[in-house]
Chain A
Amino acid sequence: MIQYTLRRLGWSLLTIWLISIVCFFIIQAPPGDFVSVLMAQAEEDGRRLSAAQIEVLRERYALDQPWYAQYWAWMSGIITQGDFGYSFRWNRPATEVIMEYLPFTLLLAGGSMFLTWIIAFAIGIYTAVKRYSIGDYFFTFLGFIGLSVPNFVLALVFMYIAFAHFGMTVGGLFSPEYVEADWSVARVMDLLQNLAIPALIIATAGTAGLIRITRANLSDELVQPYVVAARARGQKENVLLMRYPVRAAMNPFISTIGYAIPSVISGEVIVSSVLSLPTTGPVLLGALRNQDMYLAGSFLLILGVLTVVGTVISDLILAWADPRVRRQHSGAAQ
């Protein structure tokens, strides 16, 4: 287990390093370097940057040096000082902007992951046990609809219904009376209420796949001799179901959770942009549109790292739950 954990962590560090390179090239992609963009921006606002300021910035981001030096300047700033660069649109360090918006993203992504699991697990078990029933067809169809309707369309439809039928304007994570309020139990409840719908919208995209996997695996387990044996011993159907086949069918379920995280993050970006939630989504979109590249690249990096961390955690849980996985990765199996 320790060996597996170490190897998995090593690979994830490599992945993170590669992601950081991808992000760096995205930062570099637009024409003109960061300082010239900053100067143009300052001129637009009627300010002028002094030659000394420019020099300091050029030095800080190693702009006169080759790309690997620039990459190093960016990365070392992040690692040693948590400095992700400067957002010229916000006129603030990118770190500050990210820290302001990231918590709600995590909350929303976590919430929709949770919903995805709960829904997929419950429906997956139901559809496997009641195969080919009306309910099975209904939920399977519903899952496919969720897979086929773009998230942003769902978000818009939801906003439309909320407005046209209930007269509510949706957007933001707090009801008007709580926006400026101090943290309190009531405010937290309000936040959770406002989070529920976006989380559900994001969850629709990921559930179909998980439902299918749970249903398929559980269907395979349900016909196994040990289930028949348990039934013959007179064990109650519900107890039996949860005690053996569901547990056996859990492993592939856990292993796909890791890959559900990127899809949740992707969904979050789009849904939040439509619902204008104060999360990374709209900020990232704005940064990309305005070519505010340090902010955009940093967001991308953080989202990527979070995904990798999530995947590692789910892999480790899987390895802990299923010894075959540990062996397979060390090459002992096959």
Chain B
Amino acid sequence: MISKLPLIGRKHRSRNTPETDAAVDEASAQRSSVSLTWRRFKRHKLALVSLWIVIGVYLIAIFADLIAPRPAGDYNADYPLLPPQSMTLTDPGDGRGFGLYVHGYTQEIDEVSWNRYYTEDPDELHRIEFFVNSGHDYEFLGLFTTDRKLFAPADPDAPFFLMGSDSNGRDIFSRVIYGTQVSMSIGLIGVVLSLVIGIALGAAAGFFRGVVDTVIQRITELFMSIPSIPLWMALAAAIPREWGPLTIYFAITVLLSLIGWTSLAREVRGRVLTLRSEDYVVAARLDGASRVRVIRRHILPGLTSHIIASVTLAVPAMILAETSLSFLGLGLQPPVVSWGVLLQEAQNIRSVITAPWLLIVPSTAVVIATLALNFLGDGLRDAADPYGGATR
């Protein structure tokens, strides 16, 4: 028996006086389980904040075209490895008015090392405008074509690299925004796939027990006992390179979920084992309900909150796996942009030393997303599990 712990939330319970507790109990008797779970979840402040962060990250992924100032593959060969730029609120006094500006640069190239040295040019100011026509057309959510960007320099050729540029002069900020689409969706799709496998096998093992359970348990253990990264590496290396980016994307997703379903299956099995001996399930069975009906109608609904929690915890693991694989060059390949692909640029210590932002910016995105998802999953698990003593 492995019990879960509430990370933070439970402390607040002590604030209730006995009277309010009694009132709460009476009220909660009439509430649905969803609203009860939600109430427990809200006590977990960190998880609540994380929920908003996760929503925000997915919104960024959905509106990437609008938010990113430049297209993912767009490069400006004049500005390779430009350090992150800062915006200033100022009025240049030439009639353009008060607003956000970035500086232009003068650059020198070291004849020996071919390193570029950028110096800010105090006289050259480029105005940043909101909802500006950028000249780069895109389909807004597949509805209509536009070239408006949330914010971009008024002059399309001006250097605008909020978080620096890579060795080809591409904007890291825009690329990280676009990377959100691939990295976050691969986690989500991968988890849905492993959910299907995990629920099917876990529910079957927990419900039928006996030989079915033993066989499924052994298969689960087999997958858990192989170190996942080497196995992923080996399977990913077997993907033919001549496949298109989209096919590789799906192949990687399938690989991640083929190995990632085990913990879900174990969780589901444990819950089903407890649920199947509940009175209402026994009653349904004695009533002559078919096995499929008992599983679908009586057991799966009782699992929902646990499944949601486990799924939330599985997403960050998938994101990390994709990032690691792509970083090693075995996962997604350019021109696909994911956080892991972006981190390929920070492959060796030399490039990290010359351009630390190549490492810092994409990995910050990874850490924010995975940390928020982990906290969210943790909060959901506590909320789904009021007594903290679920079986595995």
Q: Are B222 and A26 in contact (CB under 8 A)?
A: no
Counting chain A CB atoms within 10 Å of each CB, the highest count among B231, B366, B375, B378 belongs to: B231
A304-B227 contact, Cβ under 8 Å, with A157-B359, A216-B388:
yes
Tell yes or no: B324 within 8 A of A by CB.
yes
A300 at the interface (CB under 8 A from B): yes
Q: Does B228 sit within 8 A of A, measured CB to CB?
A: yes
Residue of B with least CB distance to A267: B229
**Smallest CB separation, B47 vs chain A (Å):** 11
B320 within 8 Å of A by Cβ?
yes
Interchain CA distance A311-B225 in the complex, whole Å = 8
In the complex, A213 Cα to B3 Cα: how many Å? 7
Distance between Cα atoms of A140 and B231 in the complex (Å): 30
Residue of A nearest to B5 (CB): A216
Which B residues between 215 and 252 are near A, CB-CB below 8 angstroms?
218, 221-222, 224-231, 233-235, 237-238, 240
Q: Which residues of A contact B4 (CB under 8 A)?
A: 212, 216
* Pairwise interchain contact B328-A26, C-beta atoms closer than 8 A: no
Nearest CB on A from B2, distance (A): 5
- Establish whether residues B229 and A288, one from each chain, have CB atoms under 8 Å apart when the complex forms: no
A23 CB to nearest chain B CB (Å): 8
A95 within 8 A of partner (CB): no
Interface check A51, CB cutoff 8 A: no
The CA-CA distance from A269 to B8 in the complex, in Å, is 34
B330 within 8 A of A: yes
Asked if residues A262 and B349 are in contact (CB atoms below 8 Å), the reply is: no
In the complex, whether A15 has a CB less than 8 A from a CB of chain B is yes
Q: Which A residues are in CB contact (< 8 Å) with B323?
A: 150
Known: A14-B218, A26-B234, A160-B349. A145 touches B371 (CB 8 A): yes
Query: What is the predominant secondary structure among interface residues of chain A facing chain B?
Result: helix
Interface of B is mostly: helix
**Chain B residues near A189 (CB-CB < 8 A):** none
> Contact at B324–A288, with CB atoms within 8 Å?
no
Interface positions of A from 187 to 216, Cβ below 8 Å from B: 212-213, 215-216
B1 near A: Cβ within 8 Å? yes
Q: Is A220 an interface residue (CB 8 A)?
A: yes
Any B CB within 8 A of the CB of A266: yes
Q: Knowing A266-B228, A269-B230 touch, does A15 contact B218 (C-beta < 8 A)? A: yes
A11 is an interface residue with CB less than 8 A from chain B: yes
**Which residue of chain A is the closest to B263 with respect to CB atoms?**
A259
Q: Which residues of B contact A252 (CB under 8 A)?
A: 1-2
Determine whether the beta carbon of B330 is less than 8 Å from that of A303: no
Chain B nearest Cβ from A132, distance in angstroms: 5
How many B residues touch the partner, as a band? 35 or more
Q: Is the CB of B233 within 8 A of A288?
A: yes
In the complex, whether A164 has a CB less than 8 A from a CB of chain B is yes
Contact A300 B234 (CB under 8 A): yes
A54 at the interface (CB under 8 A from B): no
Q: Give the complex CA separation of A132 and B13 in angstroms.
A: 13
Interface status of B7 (Cβ within 8 A of chain A): yes
Contact A303 B230 (CB under 8 A): yes
Selected from B224, B328, B366, B371, the residue in CB contact (under 8 A) with A153 is B366
Check: A70 CB closer than 8 A to any chain B CB: no
Partner of A296, one of B228, B234, B343, B370: B234
**Does B104 sit within 8 A of A, measured CB to CB?**
no
Pairwise interchain contact B237-A144, C-beta atoms closer than 8 A? no
Across the interface, do B327 and A30 meet the contact criterion of CB distance under 8 Å?
Answer: no
A270 within 8 A of B: yes
Chain A residues with CB under 8 A of B328: 152, 270, 273, 285
Cβ contacts A7-42/B at 8 Å (1 or 0 each)? 000010011001100110010011100000000000
Q: Which of A277-329 contact B (CB under 8 A)?
A: 284-285, 288-289, 291, 296-297, 299-300, 303-304, 307-308, 311
Q: Is A250 interfacial (CB 8 A cutoff)?
A: no
Report yes or no: B353 in contact with A288, Cβ–Cβ below 8 A.
no
What is the interface residue range for chain A against chain B? 35 or more
Chain B residues lying within 8 Å of A212, measured Cβ to Cβ, are 4-5
Kindly state whether residue A149 has any CB partner on chain B within 8 Å.
Answer: yes
CB-contact partner of B349 in A156, A297, A311, under 8 A: A156
**With a CB–CB cut-off of 8 A, which chain B residues contact A132?**
8, 11
- Please name the residue on chain B nearest to A18 by beta carbon: B222
CA distance A256 to B3 in the complex (A): 13
Is B356 part of the binding interface, using a Cβ–Cβ cutoff of 8 Å?
yes
B200: CB under 8 A from chain A?
no
- Tell me, yes or no, whether B329 is within 8 Å of chain A by CB: yes
Chain A residues positioned under 8 Å from B227 (CB to CB): 261-263, 265-266, 269, 303-304, 307
Residue B59 interfacial (CB < 8 Å)? no
- A137 within 8 Å of B (CB atoms): yes
With A26-B238, A159-B349 in contact, is A266–B329 under 8 Å at CB?
A: no
Q: Does A219 contact B (CB under 8 A)?
A: yes
B283 at the interface (CB under 8 A from A): no
Say yes or no: is A151 at the interface (Cβ < 8 Å to chain B): yes
Contacts A261-B227, A304-B226, A311-B225 supplied; 16 other A-B pairs, CB < 8 Å: A23-B234, A147-B316, A147-B374, A148-B367, A148-B374, A149-B363, A150-B323, A160-B349, A160-B353, A216-B388, A262-B226, A285-B328, A299-B230, A303-B230, A304-B227, A307-B227
Interface residues of B (CB under 8 A from A): 1-5, 7-8, 11, 218, 221-222, 224-231, 233-235, 237-238, 240, 316, 320, 323-324, 327-330, 343, 346, 349, 352-353, 356, 359, 363, 366-367, 370-371, 374-375, 378, 388-389
Interface residues of A (CB under 8 A from B): 11, 14-15, 18-19, 22-23, 26, 29-31, 132, 137, 140, 144-145, 147-153, 156-157, 159-160, 163-164, 169-171, 212-213, 215-217, 219-220, 252, 256, 259, 261-263, 265-267, 269-270, 273, 284-285, 288-289, 291, 296-297, 299-300, 303-304, 307-308, 311
- Closest A-B pairs by Cβ, 8 of them: A266-B229, A29-B238, A265-B227, A216-B5, A288-B237, A148-B370, A148-B371, A262-B227
22 residue pairs of the A-B complex, CB under 8 angstroms, read A15-B225, A26-B234, A144-B371, A149-B366, A151-B324, A152-B343, A160-B352, A160-B359, A163-B349, A213-B2, A215-B5, A259-B224, A261-B227, A262-B224, A266-B227, A270-B229, A273-B328, A284-B233, A288-B233, A296-B237, A299-B230, A304-B231
